[in-house]
Amino acid sequence: MLDKKTFYITTPIYYPSNKLHVGNSYTTVAADAMARFKRLTGYRVWFLTGTDEHGQKIQREAEAAGKPTADFVNEIVDWIKELWYELDIAYDDFIRTSEQRHKERVSKIFTHFYEQGDIYKGKYEGLYCTPCEAYWTERQLDEGNCPDCGRKVELIDEEAYFFRMSRYADRLQEHIESHPEFILPPSRKNEMINNFLKPGLEDLCVSRTSFDWGIPVPYDQDHVIYVWLDALSNYITALGYGDENDNLYREFWPADVQLIGKDILRFHTIYWPIFLMALGEPLPKTVFGHGWLMLQEGKMSKSKGNAIDPRLLAARYSSDALRYFLLREIPFGQDGVFSLESFITRINNDLANDLGNLVSRTLTMAERYFDGVLPEPVSSDESTDEKLRSVALHAPGAVEAEMDQMKISDALIALWELVRTSNRYIDDNMPWNLAKDPEKKDRLGTVIYNLIESIRFIAVMLQPFMPRTPESTWPQLGLENNPELQSWDSLKTWGGIKPGTVVKRGEDLFPRLNMQAELREVRGDKPAEETETREQEEHEGLITLEDFQKVDLRVAEIVAAEKVPNSDKLLKVDVNLGEKNTRQVVAGLAEHYKPEDLTGKSVLFVANLKPVKLRGVLSQGMLLAATDPEGEITLTTVDQKTTPGSRVS
């Protein structure tokens, strides 16, 4: 156990000042996926999140809500914990800065700084942004407002303690420059050096006296410790730093990854490392500043709040779908836009069509052709088998390589390569055709076996990103009690799942959604009858009765059929339409019907299609047929008593 590799990952601790929106969930879902991935690949992981409960902003918001500050905060913290529960955030510790364990350790840290001469008493006369809890100089303002949030700053004038930042500035710059992995993505590094370090770092005010919602300065109770010093310390106080029992600290610090939004990069790559230097402790290996999740213009009003409430989104679409969207849609590090349209499109394309369909059609075939008992594969040198196996065996390494670089979206792209290859494998092998020929039973068994094994690979790899989907896939694969075949290690070789395993189709993983209905119900888009555009939209793709009547639909009797030379798919079919001569059509039926089985059938026929030539053979109409989701084709036959040539309307 002790020689296991460790991985410590943190998220910012959230202000319990307001309900969190889908943007905040983004950080925590990403951290959870990283943490789960490391656990799955054999690390001993510590994943910390929590709440940042002190400061003037929270105190004012509680006052505005007419509640005692502690009650106000407790309610929102409960709400946040429920949100993380619903999004399957498997943290190892949730720290609240109002907890005794934290407060005691922060007091010790402050005293240490003071005794070491890093802190001195003075007076702060200057500007402050309360929503950001940040000090600004006149020069840094943006048209007189806070450069981070754009809101008004306040002038404050109070006695305060200051931290001598300048003492450590050169060492920090040197560290940033000699450790390219310290600030990621790399583009954010120069911003910190050029905007904050090069102009000269000013001493930081680290206490306040005009309110009392915070940790008192141990030896001067009129002051409370500046909320950012208090909050940043959580990353080590939660591990027991400064306590007799600091085993976790010794095991996990320095952090491997501290995930934050880019707006709080300055606090994490300037103040935080300087505090650590002053404590004589190592710096985190990487501080990763991800981008912002924006909303499309006009979608931020309260009435449209549903569309960005992560709890409602998770309840309606499943937490796995929300997690997938957040992780897949935006290359990690860049800004991105959240819109309900793009969310639903991802669900329909990637989850319902690609993943859901693969699982449901494979299991349907396993049940239909093998009564759900996994057949024994026969060794083969078919190129499609080789391709599927090699994509499957390559995928775990590809996913891991992307995750190691924090490219979560690319990791999912690598995983979907196997989903798509598996769907193509079905189309290439057409198991429904193999099923028609008893001599091809072995081949059919091999195809089904390979597909089930491939789904197992996919489910194993999905676990960190969408933990519920594998949970509902295991019983379908008969693997619910088989941790070994759910493990990352089991992906080293192909063929882990045993022939004879009983598989069983379950409910569809991701049913397709109707975009228009979702936009109306969730976002409150106008119902159809209220706008002309809606009416037009609804009628888009519909045809009028006149349009339909243009199609000359008839009953046709098949009188002869034969293969079109040099084609695997086409048959030449002669039909009787009650006309003087029979008509000839070319139909893509060769993989579904033997020519001799067609003769005598009465089918629906489009009689007024413009003639075309297919493979040089004239085709004068079209036989109507149904294609089921597995690609199997069935002709639309009618009662044979119907007179050939009868009109259909």
Residues of this chain that interact with ligand ME8 (CB under 6 A) are 12-15, 23-24, 26-27, 52, 231-232, 260-261, 263-264, 292-293
- Note the helical H segments in 371-440: 383-404, 408-429, 431-434
In the complex with ligand ME8, the residue whose CB is nearer, 13 or 513, is 13
User: What tokens does 636 get?
Assistant: 């639309």
In the complex with ligand ME8, the residue whose CB is nearer, 296 or 536, is 296
d(CA 391, CA 422) in angstroms, rounded, equals 9
Minimal CB distance residue for ligand ME8: 261
- Shortest separation between residue 230's beta carbon and ligand ME8, angstroms: 9
Backbone angles phi, psi at 572, to 5 degrees: -95, 125
- Shortest separation between residue 214's beta carbon and ligand ME8, angstroms: 13
- Shortest separation between residue 131's beta carbon and ligand ME8, angstroms: 9
In the complex with ligand ME8, the residue whose CB is nearer, 232 or 452, is 232
- Shortest separation between residue 153's beta carbon and ligand ME8, angstroms: 17
End-to-end CA distance of the chain: 74
In the complex with ligand ME8, the residue whose CB is nearer, 236 or 622, is 236
In the complex with ligand ME8, the residue whose CB is nearer, 25 or 429, is 25
In the complex with ligand ME8, the residue whose CB is nearer, 97 or 423, is 97
In the complex with ligand ME8, the residue whose CB is nearer, 294 or 609, is 294
Q: 217: alpha, beta or left, given left = phi > 0 and alpha = psi -120 to 50? A: beta
Distance (Å) of CA 444 to CA 73, 365, 387, 507, 592: 61, 10, 17, 24, 15
In the complex with ligand ME8, the residue whose CB is nearer, 225 or 419, is 225
- Shortest separation between residue 288's beta carbon and ligand ME8, angstroms: 11
Helices and strands of the chain, counted as H and E runs: 24, 24
Distance (Å) of CA 295 to CA 21, 292, 308, 335, 429: 11, 10, 8, 11, 44
- Shortest separation between residue 8's beta carbon and ligand ME8, angstroms: 15
Distance (Å) of CA 317 to CA 307, 347, 508, 518, 520: 12, 9, 13, 10, 15
The answer to whether residues 153 and 170 touch, using CB atoms and an 8 Å cutoff, is no
In the complex with ligand ME8, the residue whose CB is nearer, 23 or 595, is 23
Task: Return all residues near 149 (Cβ < 8 A) that are at least 6 apart.
Answer: 129, 131, 132
Task: Give, as one character, the DSSP assignment of residue 381.
Answer: -
Backbone angles phi, psi at 428, to 5 degrees: -70, -35
- Shortest separation between residue 173's beta carbon and ligand ME8, angstroms: 22
In the complex with ligand ME8, the residue whose CB is nearer, 163 or 369, is 163
Task: Return all residues near 451 (Cβ < 8 A) that are at least 6 apart.
Answer: 358, 362, 365, 422, 425, 426
- Shortest separation between residue 93's beta carbon and ligand ME8, angstroms: 14
Residue 165, Cα to own-chain centre: how many angstroms? 39
Residue type, 647: R
In the complex with ligand ME8, the residue whose CB is nearer, 310 or 431, is 310
- Shortest separation between residue 393's beta carbon and ligand ME8, angstroms: 36
The answer to whether residues 564 and 570 touch, using CB atoms and an 8 Å cutoff, is yes
- Shortest separation between residue 44's beta carbon and ligand ME8, angstroms: 24
- Shortest separation between residue 227's beta carbon and ligand ME8, angstroms: 8
Q: 173: alpha, beta or left, given left = phi > 0 and alpha = psi -120 to 50? A: alpha
